[in-house]
Amino acid sequence: MKRILRATLMLICLTGLVNPYAAQSVKRPPNIVVILCDDLGYGDIGSFGNPTIRTPHLDRMAAEGQRWTSFYVADSVCTPSRSALLTGRLPIRTGMFSDTRRVLFPDSAGGLPQSEITIAELLKTRGYATAAIGKWHLGFQPEYLPMKQGFDSYFGIPYSNDMDATFRFSTRDEYVNFMKNPKIAYWNVPLMRNEKTVERPADQTTITKRYTDEAIKFISANKNRPFFLYLAHSMPHMPLFRSKEFEGRSSRGLYGDVIEELDTNVGRVLETLRQLKLDRNTLVIFTSDNGPWALFDEQGGSAGLLRGAKGGTYEGGMREPTIIWQPGTIKPGVVTGIGSTLDLMPTFSKLAGVEAPKDRVLDGYDLSGVLHGKSSSPRKTMFYWRGSKLYAVRHGAFKAHFITKSEYGSDPEVVHNTPVLYNLDVDPSEKFDVAPQHPEVIAEIRRIAEAHKKAIPPIENQLDKRVPSTSGK
């Protein structure tokens, strides 16, 4: 009996040496899972008001956790938005912006500079296992891939699922037709494992399920140590694909099928956490990188009651349906205060007990007090950048548009000498200009905007750089 006890103690000590969190005396920080959708609209899930798309797993997650109704990304398109999520810094500070090429393309030579510190790099200093699964879109040259940015492993597509098109078109209608009637071979997108291509073109019909399989494998393999999982689904970005099992399931059509498959797979991740008894020690955030892509009619998503869409600085482009969940820790409810993906870095660093970078400006706030139901959101202001220009600023309930422009049209920018002012608490759809009634609000927001712009030093733009052999394409 004594021998067995001694052997057991020895085993515990040895495990403790390899993995300090296996020993009970070391308090284990929470696991963190970020589930990021691509181009999901504010109005595309049941708990955010969609009348036909069925999302029971997300709805349960929202009921058990917090549903954030004013949660923003830092930019209205993929690359800059993702760079801000992972660094806690506005794209204008990291070089991940452009006025011409708004995202990275397969011939791009730039990427998220290695000098930037990602959430993965930060959490690794606290002993976290890290994995990136899904769409990356922060640089495809070898020095910019996920494993160079703090991730132990990677499985996914390095850029958007509509890039590397193999078809030719001469009119807009022809282009839209290819996008709305997709076949795998139309896009020669690589699927990568770590730093190697393992499938090309990626079979996108099974990709949502396969990303989730990988996520479950990663969670199971790391159940005895803290982990950070960045699960960036490539759906529902056009072209839309779903597996056989989900074909024709939704009365919302193809787009609804895709969202219902995403919902089922979010459910699989949460169920895995429950089964492994990790749910009470795992913070899960569900959100999207930008608003719905409105170019494709019914195959694009919906921003619900919000105005605008992906690519623009009205609410529909940058306000995302966001759910934060950790049973027993997150105080359930609806949070109407302002939050942002920029706040994830400071929030995670607080929860993990690791100091956020001090040698650079972070644009985020620690939201842990809100998550625990102890305080209201410390974020009062949101900046709406488009490339190198500050288009709008929200401060409290009011949002002032200094510049407006359609999401993707060839219309010129309209610079407003007196900004257009909306009260988002009263008028979330941005319909009623209240500038004449509130000159003092405009003056205050103008001061905030000018001070903010002045404090941003010039930086090299990463998005306009191209690899030499394809320059001029």
Task: Please give the Cα distance from 144 to 94 (Å, whole number).
Answer: 14
Please report how close the Cβ of residue 85 comes to Mg ion at its closest, in angstroms. 11
Q: Which positions from 109 through 138 interact with Mg ion, judged by CB under 5 A?
A: none
Q: By CB under 5 A, name the one of 62, 78, 120, 441 that touches Mg ion.
A: 78
Q: End-to-end CA distance of the chain, in Å?
A: 75
Q: Can residue 38 be called a binding residue for Mg ion (CB under 5 A)?
A: yes
Shortest distance in whole angstroms from residue 202 CB to Mg ion: 17
Taking CB under 5 A as the rule, does residue 214 contact Mg ion? no
Q: Which residue's Cβ has the minimum distance to Mg ion?
A: 78
Per-residue mark of binding to Mg ion, 290-319 (x: CB under 5 A): x-----------------------------
| Footprint (CB under 5 A) of Mg ion, residues 144-163 | none
Residue 446 near residue 400, CB atoms below 8 Å: yes
78 is catalytic: yes
Whole-number minimum distance, CB 457 to Mg ion, in Å? Answer: 28
Q: Can you name the residues that pair with 323 across neighbouring β-strands?
A: 67, 286
Q: Say if residues 69 and 62 touch (Cβ distance below 8 Å).
A: no
- In whole angstroms, how close is the CB of 291 to Mg ion at the nearest point? 9
Structure tokens at 74: 């830092």
CB-CB contact of 123 with 32 (8 Å): yes
Identify which range of 74-82, 100-108, 196-204, 347-355 contacts Mg ion by CB under 5 A.
Answer: 74-82
Shortest spacing between CB 43 and Mg ion, in angstroms: 16
Residue placing its CB nearer to Mg ion in the complex, 289 or 407: 289
d(CA 206, CA 244): 8
Q: Which residues pair with 313 in a beta bridge?
A: none
Q: Which two three-digit tokens encode residue 399?
A: 């949002």
The strands making up 319-325's β-sheet, listed across from edge to edge, are: 196-199, 191-193, 153-156, 129-134, 227-232, 31-37, 282-288, 319-325, 66-72, 333-340
Annotated catalytic, 416?
no
Nearer to Mg ion, 76 or 404 (CB): 76
Nearest to 53 by CA among 303, 210, 332, 255: 255
Q: Which of 78, 233, 237, 401 is catalytic?
A: 78
* Distance separating alpha carbons of residues 348 and 345, to the nearest angstrom: 5
- Cβ-based nearer residue to Mg ion, 152 or 289: 289
Using CB under 5 A as the binding rule, whether residue 44 contacts Mg ion is answered as no
Q: Cα–chain-centroid distance for residue 21?
A: 29
Active-site entry in 13, 37, 57, 137:
137
Looking at 221-281, which runs of residues are DSSP E strands? 227-232
Q: Between 140 and 218, whose beta carbon lies closer to Mg ion?
A: 140
By CB under 5 A, tell whether 39 contacts Mg ion: yes
Q: How far is the CB of 78 from Mg ion (least distance, A)?
A: 4
- Rounded to whole angstroms, the Cα distance separating 60 from 308 reads 28
Residue 35 or 78: which CB sits closer to Mg ion? 78
Binding stretches for Mg ion (CB under 5 A): 38-39, 78, 289-290
List the catalytic residues: 78, 137
